[in-house]
Amino acid sequence: MKHYEPPKKNLWTGRVSNKWLYLHEKVHCTPLEELPEAQKKSIALLGYACDAGVHRNQGRVGAEDGPDAIKSSFAKMPNHLGSNVLLHDVGSITCTNSDMESAQEQLAEAVTFLLQKKQFPIVLGGGHDMAYGHYHGIKTYLDAKKEGQIIGIINFDAHFDLRKNTEQSNSGTPFYQIAKDCEKEGIDFKYLCLGIRKDANDRNLFQTAKDLNVIYVMSETFQPTFLEEITTFINAFTKNVSHVYVTIDLDGFSSAFAPGVSAASPMGYNPYMVVECLKTIINSGKLISLDIAEMNPKYDIDGQTAKLAASLVHHVAHSISGS
């Protein structure tokens, strides 16, 4: 398979218990082409080792190494997954010669394949341009089922990522591209952003969000004080869609928690808010797939950002499996 790298077993190390107490003892390193159809609950970790879109968007490169950093940190964490739950590392989509578009296409195909195999995909990045490929992978899967279902996107992020791709697509354009694709097909663009900051989006982006009927919560409101209201907001959003695709941009967190990102800021939100919101989303029963974007090990401090990303994966994996 082009633009693909098989799983690396050397990432999966840690304390040895011989009792599956740690996730590196639980995981199966399974190349995509060898992945069987799941007969029980199964989670597949897929990397998106690409930061060409970040470079095009004038961000700090280094996120192509993000997937490996997250997997390595996740490997060392305790395993509470039940014996009836499978965990696979299925490798990573790669980017050659800055060909981001081909990487996105390959990611879409891989996500469709994982869903067809009855896996729950967790995609690890990599630039946020991954969202365009990820969304289309979900949509292709649902279109094949001919159910005409509505995909709701929930983005935890400081940025709208609604820049217009008039010159070239990049890590700041994926949701604008999705919106335009929805417009062409005559389907609703359902997009909720949590944690938007005024100091991270210019006035044109706020106007674009208004024009596209984007729902968003500003960072000053995305705080524990308003959790009850935000929970109501999320429930109202999920009620009106068939499936929810969640994407978490690590640069939305304060750099106190996530220094290793492409666009760091001390003004972001805290992990507690994201975890509490994820509980609400998962309880809706509509979460179909999830990704974590902009992990940049080049700027991380003591693996702090990788540990944050791994903890989010840990929470989601255990929550969706009832473990």
What does the domain layout of the chain look like in residue ranges?
4-320
**CATH class name, domain 4-320:** alpha beta
pTM: 0.97
Annotated binding site for Mn(2+): 128, 157, 159, 161, 249, 251
Which pLDDT score, from 0 to 100, does residue 147 have? 66
Q: Which amino acid does the sequence have at 169?
A: S
% of the chain with per-residue pLDDT over 90? 94
Please provide residue 82's backbone torsions phi and psi, each rounded to the nearest 5 degrees: -70, 160
DSSP per position, 189-252: -EEEEEEE-GGGS-HHHHHHHHHTT-EEEETTTSSGGGHHHHHHHHHHHHHT-SEEEEEEEGGG
Mean pLDDT of residues grouped by 10 in the chain (323 residues)? 93 96 98 95 98 93 97 98 97 96 97 98 97 97 82 98 91 97 95 97 98 97 97 97 97 97 94 98 98 98 98 98 84
pLDDT in tens, 193-238: 999 999 999 999 999 999 999 999 999 999 999 999 999 999 999 9
Q: Please report, in range form, the residues annotated as the binding site.
A: 128, 157, 159, 161, 249, 251
The CA distance from 225 to 221, in Å, is 8
Instruction: Give the count of alpha carbons within 13 A of 182, CB side only.
Output: 22
